Structure 1
Amino acid sequence: MRKHKILISMIVSIFFLSTMHAYAEEVSEEKNETLNLAEEAKSAILIERDTGTILFDKNVHEKLAPASMTKIMTLLLIMEAIDKGELKKDETVRVSERAASMGGSQIFLEAGEEMKVNDLIKGIAVASGNDASVALAERLAGSEEAFVQMMNKKVKELGLENTNFKNTTGLPADEHFSTAYDMAIIAKELLKYEDITNYTSIYEDYLRKGEENEFWLVNTNKLVKFYPGVDGLKTGYTSEAKYCLTATAEKEDMRVIAVVMGAETPKERNAIVSSMLDYAFNQYKTNKIFEKDEVITNLDLLKAEKEHVDVVASESVSTIHPKGENIDNISTEVTLKPDVELPLHRGDKVGMLRIKNGEEVLSEIPLTVNEDIEQASYITLFKRTIKEMVKYR
């Protein structure tokens, strides 16, 4: 009888572990209905940033006008350019007539005015400046139209099927749409650049401080001030889109992203997002495995100028599970590309890190190099050959 009890206990334990991740991955429709988290919104989603686990969803693939949440993609391309060295934060940008003529939310740039990239990013992230968005788009791509092509190319790279951008700002335009799910994934990608929250967490600041045309920046995302842990990301409003918000918050090493689209009032929108964040932090916790850019392994590249290259996690890596429960069978598996072509550039993918619970793959994270790697010169190869010959004499 005792053996039977032990056997039953083992079966129950195995079943529990195998279903726990599925539970965290997709909350059932019945559970969503019970939560009542976003009754007043057209669409909503709640995800954990590191794993991408969906904690709550409602009409997440419905195509809707994203309004100024469009600027999450604009900021993503700007931060990518900075990371690649294609744009410097202290660089000065000259504002075009077209950028200065943008309506809607703006920081009142004037044609011919020069402003540093760092301040233009503040203008986008804090005040939702349409003029600042176009100014940086023109700097990076030559025109807003060319930058929009970059935005839609990035949409495809992320595997998103229900987003199409027509401008960098979110101003109303035919065939300009996205979904709660797609906005969450774009936000997840943007948050790989951890210093973005240095901008989106600002509640108030000044541009051109001390000058005649000093401009007071006040964050359109009031939760930055009124909800502990919220440090971004972007609000949106047009008469078509209604009130929208993609918010992110971090507490006890867990970062979540909440997206709400189509709320009737800003108060309603903020209340919905606050309830979603409360739910995430009350019900779930994460275990951090690796930090972003932490060295995971090394590559030996005999034909590279630098022979031993660090391979790092492209983003922070965690597991997620309901509070009160632990997963004890977590393991990692590293697979590197068999043939790596040179030269390599910072951020190039050279492998994959798998996080596993037993044999179940919980998540896959690209492994990258964190520096540029050039092909070895003839002199380096010659010295390396001589060194090997001496070694085996």
Structure 2
Amino acid sequence: MKLFLPFLLSISLFSGSLSSAAPPPADTDTLGLSAPSAILMEASTGTILYEKDANTSLHPASITKIMTMILIFDALSSGSIQPDDTVTVSEHAASMGGSQVFLEPGETQTVDTMLKCISVASANDACVAMAEHIAGSEDEFVARMNERAKGLGMNDTNFINCCGLDTDGHMTTAHDVALMSRELITKYPQIHDYCTIWMDNITHVTRRGSSEFGLSNTNKLIRQYEYATGLKTGSTGLAKFCVSATAKKDDIELIAVIMAAPDPKGRFADATALLNYGFSKCQLYTDPQEKSPEALPVKRGTERSVALVYEGPFRYVDTTGADLSDITKEIKLPEEVSAPIKAGDVAGKAIYRQNGTEIGSVRILYRDSVKEATFLDYFSEVLAFYL
């Protein structure tokens, strides 16, 4: 215990957070996209690299299912459902129409199979069946979708259904689609195990017997683009042709969202143009933070020192071709702290600079809690010293 450490000076703490300086988005006319609305985002930092009317409200079609899959993975992560759980198809789910895998009322499939049907074949019937399985009804599931969207900062999004069928008020933006795409691929990277499947089969078992049904990926970039990793396509009469395309090259992962393209080939051509642009411009700096900051001395605490941890990794995206080897890190911490200390509170921050200009920071947190020492603690220490 550091009970008798003299007080040296008071130093204010810093309230830093994970961040990176974002380069300005590219001029919206430089790539000649056919779609009226598009955005390109670097996945690990959320840095926007290009945008074209990205905040225009549009019908999203089946890229709605990105949020549906987030909620499915949320439920898997919480343990409320398991991949091999049995899902029973309702009359409502079987009646969806549009893109589907022709599930019948009363038919059962596993959660894992339903995810495959949604991500590969964009199955509306599987979406609704999963919504009902997780939330009891599609309406309740959609309410959760909108709540989750709000939590991600998707301020221009309103979902009316879980599969993306055209209906009044079911709207979002390219920017918001990028936000939910980033959440899905960074929080649940196992989605790539599903959305990169090119072709597969499922087995229908109904009262008429057993039959095979072929799944074919709606995202042609999986075969056409070398670095493609997903994610979701969509098309309806009002939405026209949309895609949220993800791709990874070396350590760079990008999200290209295309909305309201005039034709299916156009959306893939636009997405390819965006991804090629991003990979040609981007370089990513990452601080591995292999060693935690040194522990801080504690004054008037039941422990002599308190360990520290970084809140998260630091990543910075550059599109100028600058030399990133000259990035420096400065640790800002007090010389000592006074108990009580709560684990997770901010102790200070690491500031990153390039050529003297700050490009971002990461907060440094207390790893452990430390209680304030009582008279009994002081007495025990003195007694231990003499004995």
Question: What interval of TM-score do these two structures reach, taking the shorter chain for normalisation?
Answer: 0.7 to 0.9
- Choose which of 139, 147, 153 in structure 2 pairs with 1:153: 147
Query: Does residue 1:143 correspond to 2:137, yes or no?
Result: yes
Q: CA deviation at 1:365?
A: 8.7
Instruction: Say if 1:266 and 1:313 are closer, same or farther in 2 by CA, change over 3 A.
Output: farther
8 Å contact 2:103–2:204 — kept in the other structure?
A: no
Q: 1:132 aligns with which of 126, 129, 132?
A: 126
1:47-58 → structure 2 map (5 Å cutoff): 47-58=41-52
Q: Distance in 2 between matches of 1:71 and 1:116?
A: 18
Tell me the residue number matched to 1:325. Answer: 322
CA positional deviation for 1:197 = 0.7
Residue pairs, 1:18-167, within 5 angstroms: 24-27=22-25, 31-33=27-29, 35-38=30-33, 40-167=34-161
- Distance of 1:234 and 1:50 partners within structure 2: 19
> How far apart, in 2, do the equivalents of 1:353 and 1:55 lie?
27
* 1:198 paired to 2:196: no
- Partner of 1:191: helix, strand, or coil? helix
Give yes or no for contact 1:74–1:133 (8 Å, CA) kept in 2: yes
* Gap change, CA 1:201 and 1:331, over 3 Å in 2: farther
Q: Distance in 2 between matches of 1:139 and 1:390?
A: 63
Name the CA distance, whole Å, in 2 between partners of 1:389 and 1:105.
76
- Report the equivalent of 1:287: 285
Change (3 A) 1:142 1:225: same
- RMSD in angstroms over aligned alpha carbons? 3.6
CA distance in structure 2 between the aligned counterparts of 1:171 and 1:85, rounded to whole angstroms: 29
Q: Which region of structure 1 is more displaced relative to structure 2, 64-73 or 360-369?
A: 360-369
The number of aligned residues is 334
Question: Amino acid of the residue matched to residue 267 of structure 1?
Answer: K
On the 8 A contact 1:93/1:139 being kept in 2, the answer is: yes
For structure 2, the 5+ residue unaligned runs are 1-19, 296-305, 334-339, 368-380
1:173–1:309 CA distance, 2 compared to 1 (3 A): farther
Relative to structure 1, is the Cα distance of residues 84 and 322 closer, same or farther in structure 2, using a 3 angstrom cutoff? same
**Deviation of 1:48 (Å):** 0.6
Aligned-partner residue type, residue 207 of structure 1: I
Q: 1:93 to 1:279 in 2, by over 3 A?
A: same
Identity of aligned residues (%): 41
Structure 1 unaligned runs (5+)?
Answer: 1-20, 300-307, 341-348, 370-387
Q: Give the TM-score normalised by the residue count of structure 2.
A: 0.76
Contact 1:295–1:310, Cα closer than 8 Å, also in 2: no
Rounded Cα–Cα distance in structure 2 between residues aligned with 1:274 and 1:221: 12
Q: State the one-letter code of the partner of 1:287.
A: Y
Q: Is the aligned partner of 1:254 residue 2:248?
A: no
Q: Check whether the contact 2:308–2:364 (CA below 8 A) recurs between aligned residues.
A: no
CA separation of 1:183/1:26 partners in 2, compared to 1, >3 Å: closer, same or farther? same
Residue aligning to 2:166: 172
What is the match of residue 358 of structure 2? 360
**For the Cα contact (< 8 Å) 2:91–2:105, is it kept in 1?**
yes
Look at both structures and tell me which one has the larger radius of gyration over its CA atoms: 2
SS in structure 2 of the partner of residue 194 of structure 1: coil
Partners in 2 of 1:368 and 1:114 — Cα distance?
49
Q: Report if the CA contact (8 A) 1:253-1:288 is conserved.
A: no
| Pairwise CA distance, 1:240 | 0.6
Aligned partner of 1:224 in structure 2 is 222
Distance 1:286 1:100, change over 3 A: same
Change (3 A) 1:91 1:243: same
Is 355-364 or 101-110 further displaced after alignment? 355-364
> Could you tell which deviates more after superposition, 122-131 or 200-209?
200-209
Structure of greater relative contact order (alpha carbons < 8 Å, 6+ residues apart): 2
Cα deviation, residue 285, structure 1: 1.7
Return the alpha-carbon distance in structure 2 between the equivalents of residues 222 and 332 of structure 1. Answer: 46
How far the C-alpha of 1:44 sits from its partner, in A, is: 0.3
Instruction: Please state which structure has a larger fraction of its residues in helix.
Output: 1
| Secondary structure of the corresponding residue to residue 245 of structure 2 | strand
- Per-residue Cα deviation, 1:306-360 (whole angstroms, up to 9, x for no partner): xx9997877x75321136422322438699x9645xxxxxxxx877986633563
Q: Distance in 1 between matches of 2:223 and 2:81?
A: 30
